[in-house]
Structures are given as structure tokens and as C-alpha cells.
Structure 1
């Protein structure tokens, strides 16, 4: 029996593939037109390691069909969450680069076998030294027989072991069968109006605490019909809390409504005394406590920090000060959530790379060593350790759908819990059950008619079960571009101004965000993850041929793109301020040191923008970037993304506790006029606005969400 070395060099139709340097060498393909090789003139090209590893695996299995499951298991370590999309992407790239071999071999390089997998159609040639002989089947079986005879000489021991294994096997199968037959049980713990968040159950399993309307509430699970009790004052804001291990107190960040000062606080439940411990970030900042109650770990941003990070605080010392334990400068990420493992060995941390990518790491509490657990997730909302210390349960959004997942920290295998709306999970102490906030939100592109004498409501542009968001209108093409998950992935689509004549423009099968038209209507700029799913890059879609290119940039995080004065450059805010990126891959130029949330070019000479460091609406001339002007003060304008510039003024969202307002600020009078009042949370906070001049119509992202409730979950995958 012959086995081929994994790193073996081989040829396809005379063209050499070298796994050690991930290369395709077309030099010896004498029949190949050099102009066709991989779309260029180079004899040798390099591909991503996973692409070459996949091609090598298919070559070693030639001429057999290899199933998709086997490829995901071998190449992506069984991670179906990432591997399914990555395999399809890798096959597409391999076919593209191997396409020149079709004329030589007379056949397609890789065949898709429907509902099964793939196989290589061109016979690979390996060097003799890469072929390793293995024992023949008969020899192997004879060795097994000899080994079995040796074992049978100890008959009594073998029989006892056999009975033990049979009994254990039967018990295991019965246990597994009971798990498979177990139904997922969801018990609703709250039923009142409003949004309940960050649930946590007391160590004795009796009390549920959660945040609602910026206060903490306590519910007795033994008397579920009783009205929950508000624990905190209306003078402060609290949302997120954790129990002390003895169940006698709660720890939480508490923010003054008047001064804005925030302190990590401890509430003694027997006396209702509140003790301020140490400064904190805000009312929803993440925190957790060690199993022995000696240490708090939390997300904070001190006055000397560039951005928030992970801190720990010794609760046993009266003179303790917060100690930062995560990256503090020149970091490519931001810590967002934190959880202690039950055995105290690990912190689990969710980290945001850029603004559309987030992943989970675990950090050893003693050594500080870190292990990356996931690759390429989206917005993570809560994570919690399973009691066995080997698994984490978390919530993430996948192409607009929020659900729960469990990941094994050893194998890194991710399994879908198939619980839609799953957010902020927290295991009940000493139990395999957990509580979570069920939160289902739908996004629709909608419009507001401004020509009505009295604007009365917004109307969905399209009525469908899919999530559509972030519209942008082009007066040249007279089309609306937006992001939709209609294919199961967030892709770029467009429609006419009435929502008809829909077209899909990308098929990247990964997250895309914030598309914007070029001035001539021939291109779209948008954000999508980089090849490592860390951060994001500016992508350019050429509508004339459907090609997608990536603008060269050393930055890992780019904010929403803005087309420059012509269509040869795109502006985007980075860690170094506002940068101009050339479509011809010239080095980027720094426009301004100002960090912008969102900018819009006005008359090719000025940019109106919102800032990262403060509220208000601002403007800046491109010719004098150091001179900025406050257009609308922060007292009147505190919106980051939901605003749009027209020829007469600016439409923007104003948020109130009980409603949203759409306002209009007029240039010539400097007055703000309310246009329409909407229910609270009607407009998506990270949405966008666009304007259709011919229709005098505003486009916006409408957020349609059901109320949030706390659910207790009993699930077979958590047993």
C-alpha cells in the first residue's frame, strides 16, 4: 500500500505545485500562453496556504471523490461554521488560477460532484521519493490476529474487561440516546413590556437580576407571578450586574445621570447599602468576579487610556488600585466582554477587530498566555463558561440573524444551538441550564415622504422576511444600493427608487457593510473583512464588469468610506485620522488628524462630519483641514450616523427615552424643525440616511424589533 507525503511536490499537466511555499509554477507548461497564466505574465504565483493545502489533499486522493465533510475536517479542523464558506471560496479561487491548464489537459481541473464533494480531474504526478510504502492489508490483519491471541491468553482478565466495556458502552449509548431525545426547553421568566438585558441568577438559584430602563431589577423565581423589585435609584443608571459567590451582594457599574461619573459598586442585599469601589466605564460595561470572590475583572477606560481595556481589581485589599492586564497602546483590537472560568484558570474575552469583526480569546489568569478560540465572527453579545470549564456559550450575529453557539476550547469546534434571538447568556450556578435575553430585531430600508403637508409615518421600501439596511442613493443611476441577507449572507443589492428591479451585486459570502456610490455611478465602495477576518478593508466594486478589488492599506480598521473630490480616491477615518486612499494603489495621504464617525462631502470642497471624541455636527474645508467649524452644537445634535445633507439643510435623528424625532436644520435660518415623531428604537443606531432629491424623500434603516424577554434554557448540547 502506497501513501503520499502531505508536503509532496507534484505537477498537473506539467505545472509544478509546491506546498512548502504555497506556489504554482507555470514555467514548464510549454503549451501555455504566458499571458493566460493566472491572469498575468508571471511564471510563478503564490496562493493562500489553505488553497494549496486543499489542492494537495485532492491530488493525494486522486482519482477519488472527496466529500465536503472530509475536506472541512482535514483542512479546517472540522470547523463547519468557518469551513463551509471557506471551502466554497477556496474551490472558486483554485479553479480561477488553474483555468489556464484546461487548454493543456483538455478537461476542467476540479469537478463538483453534486451533493457529495469534489475531485481532481487532472492526474497529478509525484516524485518517487515522496511515495511511502505502508504494510499491506494482509500483513496488518495478521499482526492483529497475533496480538489478539496474546491477549486471549489472559482469558479471565479479558472477560472481566469485556463485561466492563459492554456495560459502560450500554450506559454511554443510553445516555446519548436520552440526550438526543431531550427537547430544547425555553421557559419565559419575564413578560412585562420593555427590554430586559444582562440576566444573572443567584448562586442558590432563587433570584434573577437583570437590567431594564437603566436600572436593576430583582425577581423571585419561586414566586414568578410577583412583581419584580427595582433595586437602584432613578438618579443613577445601571444595566449589568454579577452576584457575589455567597449570593449576599451584587456588583455592577453605576453611572450618575447628572454628572456622568461611573463607579463599580457593591449593593448589600440585606441592608440595601451601596458601596462605591473604584471608577468604571459606563452602565453597560462588562465585568465578572472570581469563584472565590477575591477579584473583579472588568472593561474600563481610565483618563490616561487611549481606549478601553481589561482591568482587574483585588477585592481583598483596602489599598488596591485597578491594574490593566490587556494591550494598552498600538493595539489592533478592543476588549468588549469578559468571563471567569469556573475553575479560575481562564478569562474568556471577546475582542473587536475594526468595526465589523469580533472573536473570542482565552487568557491564562496566572501566566497571561492567550489562545485564540474563534476566527471570523461578527458582533458578539455575551459569553458564559459551561460548568465543565471546557466550553463557552456565546451569542453572535451571522448575516443579520442573531443566534447562540457553543465552542469547545480544546478542539475549537463551534456548534449552533439553533436558538434565534439568543443574547447575553449566563449559566445558572451549579447547573447546565442558563438564562439569556431573547432579542429578535429586523431591519428594513424605509422612506419618508417630505412633500406631505404633515409627514405621518415611514414606509418600508420592500416587504420581505429578509434584513435590509444602510441605503445609499445615486442620482446618476437613479438606484438605491443597500445590504441584504436575502441569500443567507450579507451582500450588496440595489433597486429602483420604488424598491423594484432588484439586483445582487456581490457574492462574497462574508460580511459586507456600508456601500456608497461613486459620483459617476460606475463604482461602489464598501467595507468587508480582510483575509484573516481581523478588522476590515475598503473594497471597490466596478459595476461595469462586476470585479471587486481591495484598496491597499496598512490599517486594520477603516470607518465608513467617502468618495473624494473625484472618483480616483476614497476617504476613510483610521487610527491616524482621515486618510485619502488612491484607487491606483498610491500611498495613502493624510487629510486630517480628526477622527470621524461619518463624513459626507459637500460641493467637492467641504466635508460635514460627526466626531469620535464629542457630539455635534462639524465641517471642514479640504483645502484647510486644520480649521474645523461646529455647524450644530452637541446640545442640539448628538447623532453619529443617522443624518443626511441636502441642498437646504440637514435631516437627522434625535433620540429621547420614549420616542425618536426626525429633525431638519436649515442653513439660512440656523433653526431646527421637528419633522416626525417615531416610537423608541425605531431607527437603527448604526444605520444611515440618504436623500432622493427628485422625490424629496429620505431613505433610512428602520429597526423592527420585538420586546426583549429573559428566557431560561435547557438544551441537550449543554448537558
Structure 2
């Protein structure tokens, strides 16, 4: 071997050895991922709030009996010890946040008996409660956070004069201080939802939703309110938290009910996947750097309630699998239902017989297709999809999909005019309220109601039946424009979407103290007939109702028993 070859071979060996040494050093220096299950009780344990030192974590526990929620605290250093229950009422406690001092826990509470929501300050040692301000009643996710100096409480709220929800600040160090809105107030075209103060107290991370399919995280300067968008293309943000250095943001997202976990480096803007399954609502213990998060499994399926048998004891599954199936609508002419399912990885439109047989995928949009509704002649299906909450129309025979030429961007669930030539929808835009009729061919619009009408169904060529959230069911003659008439009072009817018309009567969901009740209301005799009671957790809150025939059955979206637990994560990327 020549001298030159010997030198080349020697250098190659040295470089290879150095590479292997460096690789093994790097590999050994990379700490493994550690996941510890913190809570192990039956049911849904959600929304972790760790103390700053990481010794304790507060969380919500949902009762499977009545749907009420109480707060518990688990000692992380003594997992063999049972958790301590810290609220004992018949109300619903929401998200919580621990003061950095570790002395207080702040949380929201819905009191249905008083029809009010309050932000409560709890002394953790004595369990003494102090109500400090009002909040919006009936909000499923009322977010809150505490500034690093414990002087400011941030929470999501909508005052009577507000167009949209936003973030409010309340000074905790000033007695009798009033909440001040931090978010945009007028003509915003978005709503701020979740929030997290940065460790340096200079900025606040905020999630902003522009429509049902677009929510992203922004970084907002606390002094001048200038914002920078941090994420893009996300559908739902399921919580976020800062790491201890304030250089990274850990966040959870959801697309078509599939959960994802990420960490964002604010300096490099690099996003890395943490690859943690069922990752929801992360929360960091600010001093110990322990990351807590919620694991929650939610499954939805289509159930039916037989109506021909006289007495209905319980609903039965129609379409149930390891995937989610939502919001069916029945066509009498086709004897078929259309519904949304994430069986393909995305929420697409599917059809089947009312009993779930002969399933067929109708769309392949690889995005979100929701809230489908058959035309009266059974030839077309209207549904919501992106961009924004646009309305699309599927021709069942040709499979052609066209976008409704609507002048509006954001729509609520669509239904059909009596002659199938127009779509009826409420508009989800600022300063626009009521139901509109939108011509399919021209896009010309006619405002049908001038109230907060949400879902409208044509029961004849001139008669519109529609719901106003919390204010009952109403009827209007759209030809002569006479004033609307209340046909079911708000004391009985408060639902937005969970109702369907049939033969001078209405099937609808009624919320009672501990359960949902499905009823039939005869519009001629003004008589209410209860059909069945269903636990709150077993019925999706915004489900559509549809009535199938031969045999006669009421179809709706059911939810399985929610199973949730709190986990702790140690990850090298944190």
C-alpha cells in the first residue's frame, strides 16, 4: 500500500471514530421521554393546573351521573395518596389557575340555580372562597391565567356591550378593581379565546378564532397590543403553555378530532412534533419545569330512539365504530341518511341506510365537511366546509360539488327553501343577525328574520320555523312579513340545533338539572310529551336531530362515557 493511501485510510478511520464517539455522546446526553400517569380514577379528569413548584396539580372531575364538575388536588410527590376534593357544590367548576405563590387557586363556576357565572378565589389551605368578578354563563371553555407577579388575572369574557368574546384583565392587587377588556372591541373579525402570560411579563400568547375551522396562536405585546402570528393552518387549539425560559411554546391542536402535540421555538420559529398521543391542555409547573397535560378520549356515534314501540327505554346504536360519526340527516325519498365521519382521517360526508348498512363515502375533500342537509327532492346535499364556514352543495348523482355564491363568509348550519332553489342559513358575522335566504343560482339574498334566529326549517312554501338560542321556537310567514310568533316558550325550548319538525309537531332536546330530555311538542294542541331522559355526557350538546321512517326512529349523535386522566411529561425538547 502506498504512503498516500495509508495516510488517507488513517484519516478516514480517525474521522469515523470521532463521528461515532460524538454520536454516542449526543445520544447518551439526550434524556428519554418520561410519562407518568397522575390520576387513575374512573371518569373524566381534565384541565390540569399545577402549582409553580410542581408538587400539586389541580384538575376537574366530571360526574358521570349528573354532569356536574368539582375540583380536586393531587399531591404529585405522593401518588399513592388519594386526591383531595376542594369544591363540594352542585354546580360546574371550570378551568383553574394557581397563583405563583401557591396560596390561591382561581377558577370559574357556573351556578345554574342563580343563572350566573363567577370567578372564584380559593385559599388552598383553608378552602375559603371569595367571589371576585362575574363571567359569562354557559361557556364550555372559560380560559384564565395569572400573571407571573400574581397581580393580574386574565380570563375570557363577553360583556353585554361586546360583539365577541375576548380577554379581560382584572387587577388582583387593587381592591374594587373593575375588569378591563384587553382584546379588540369593535369590527375585529375574530375572537380571542385562550391566553398565557410570558415569563418575562412583556407579552401574552393568545389563541384567535376567525371561524369554526380556523384558530391560531398569536403573540401580543402587553404594552402596545401589537401582535405576531405564531401558527398557521390550525383548526382547533387545545391549550398552550410556555417553557421555563420563555423561549418556547408547547401547544396542542386538533383536526377532525385527531389530537397533535407540538413545541415552537420563538427564536428560530421551528416547530417540532412531540409525538404524544391524545395530548390536550398542557400546563407547565413554572419553577420545576414539569409539564402536565390531559389525555381525553371522546367518541361519537349515531344512535336512534325507536318511536313505533310505544315505550322507549333507551337509544340504540345505528353507526358505531372506532371512528367518530356525527350529525345525520334523513331523506324520505332516498330512505338514506347523510352524516359526517372521520373514518378517512378527515371529516368527510358519508351516506348509509338509517340502520347503518350500505355505507358510502360521498366526499374526498381531505378537510372538514360538516352539518349536511338533504334537499327536499333528495338530489342534493348542502354542507359547511372551508374556507371559513362556507356552504357547499353536493349533487348526489354527478358527485359535483359547487360553492354557494353567498356574499357572506361565515354561515351556520344550512337548510333548504321549500322549493330547493335557495339555502337558508344564519350568518356568523359581526353586525349581522338573523336568518337569510340565499339563492343557489344567483347568490341573491333576502333577510327572513331580524333577530338572533339560528336554525330555520321551512314547513310550507310560506312558513319558516326557527330557533332563537335561549329564547324559544318561533314561526314566521316569510311572504307577508308579519311579526314572528313564539310557538314553544323559552321555559321549555332553549336549544340551537337539537330539534326537528314533523307533522305539526317538534322533537327537541330539553336541558334539565341533571340530564337531557328528548320531548315531542304538538304545535296544534300545545301539549308536551316527554320521550326519554339521557345523561348529559351521553348526548353531544350540538347534535342535530332527524326523523327516519319505516320504522319510525329519531336519530342523533351520542357520546360515549368520557375517559380522561392527567399525565406528567418529561421531554428532552422542553
TM-score (norm 2): 0.88
Deviation at 1:573, TM superposition (A): 0.5
SS class of match (1:465)? coil
Is contact 1:435–1:711 with CA below 8 Å preserved after alignment? yes
Unaligned ranges ≥5, structure 1: 1-165
Aligned residue in 2 for 1:226: 81
1:345 corresponds, among 202, 210, 213, to 202
The answer to whether residue 67 in structure 2 is matched with residue 187 in structure 1 is: no
1:708 corresponds, among 564, 567, 572, to 564
Aligned residue in 2 for 1:273: 128
Aligned residue in 2 for 1:481: 338
CA distance in 2, matches of 1:503, 1:425: 38
Residues 281-290 or 440-449, more deviating: 281-290
SS class of match (1:321)? coil
Deviation at 1:289, TM superposition (A): 1.3
The answer to whether residue 160 in structure 2 is matched with residue 303 in structure 1 is: yes
Is contact 1:199–1:437 with CA below 8 Å preserved after alignment? yes
Aligned residue in 2 for 1:548: 401
Residues 649-658 or 347-356, more deviating: 649-658
Q: Could you say if the C-alpha distance between residues 179 and 599 of structure 1 is closer, same or farther in structure 2, counting changes exceeding 3 Å?
A: farther
1:558 corresponds, among 396, 406, 411, to 411
2:533 corresponds, among 650, 670, 677, to 677
Aligned residue in 2 for 1:196: 45
CA distance in 1, matches of 2:94, 2:22: 43
CA distance in 2, matches of 1:523, 1:179: 60
Q: Could you say if the C-alpha distance between residues 272 and 467 of structure 1 is closer, same or farther in structure 2, counting changes exceeding 3 Å?
A: closer
The answer to whether residue 319 in structure 2 is matched with residue 470 in structure 1 is: no
Aligned residue in 1 for 2:65: none
Q: Could you say if the C-alpha distance between residues 702 and 257 of structure 1 is closer, same or farther in structure 2, counting changes exceeding 3 Å?
A: closer
Unaligned ranges ≥5, structure 2: 1-15, 62-67
Q: Could you say if the C-alpha distance between residues 319 and 455 of structure 1 is closer, same or farther in structure 2, counting changes exceeding 3 Å?
A: closer
Is contact 2:46–2:296 with CA below 8 Å preserved after alignment? no
SS class of match (1:439)? strand
CA distance in 1, matches of 2:552, 2:90: 43
Aligned residue in 1 for 2:391: 538
CA distance in 1, matches of 2:436, 2:17: 68
CA distance in 2, matches of 1:288, 1:175: 40
The answer to whether residue 139 in structure 2 is matched with residue 289 in structure 1 is: no
Deviation at 1:176, TM superposition (A): 4.8
The answer to whether residue 553 in structure 2 is matched with residue 697 in structure 1 is: yes
Deviation at 1:329, TM superposition (A): 1.8
The answer to whether residue 484 in structure 2 is matched with residue 635 in structure 1 is: no
CA distance in 1, matches of 2:163, 2:91: 26
SS class of match (1:211)? strand
Deviation at 1:271, TM superposition (A): 3.8
Aligned residue in 2 for 1:501: 358
CA distance in 2, matches of 1:543, 1:551: 16
CA distance in 2, matches of 1:551, 1:227: 56
Deviation at 1:525, TM superposition (A): 0.9
The answer to whether residue 438 in structure 2 is matched with residue 581 in structure 1 is: yes
SS class of match (1:592)? coil
Deviation at 1:609, TM superposition (A): 2.2
TM-score (norm 1): 0.71
CA distance in 2, matches of 1:647, 1:240: 44
SS class of match (1:585)? coil
Is contact 2:280–2:294 with CA below 8 Å preserved after alignment? yes
Q: Give the structure, 1 or 2, with the largest relative contact order (CA under 8 Å, sep 6 or more).
A: 2
Bigger proportion of residues as strand: 2
Deviation at 1:664, TM superposition (A): 1.9
Q: Could you say if the C-alpha distance between residues 174 and 659 of structure 1 is closer, same or farther in structure 2, counting changes exceeding 3 Å?
A: farther
Deviation at 1:414, TM superposition (A): 4.2
Is contact 1:332–1:556 with CA below 8 Å preserved after alignment? no
* Counterparts of residues 28-107 of structure 1 (less than 5 Å): none
Deviation at 1:492, TM superposition (A): 0.9
Is contact 2:31–2:571 with CA below 8 Å preserved after alignment? no
CA distance in 2, matches of 1:230, 1:626: 55
Q: Could you say if the C-alpha distance between residues 663 and 352 of structure 1 is closer, same or farther in structure 2, counting changes exceeding 3 Å?
A: same
Q: How many residues end up aligned between the 2 structures?
A: 548
Aligned residue in 1 for 2:27: 177
Deviation at 1:431, TM superposition (A): 3.8
The answer to whether residue 184 in structure 2 is matched with residue 327 in structure 1 is: yes
Is contact 1:203–1:247 with CA below 8 Å preserved after alignment? yes
Bigger proportion of residues as helix: 1
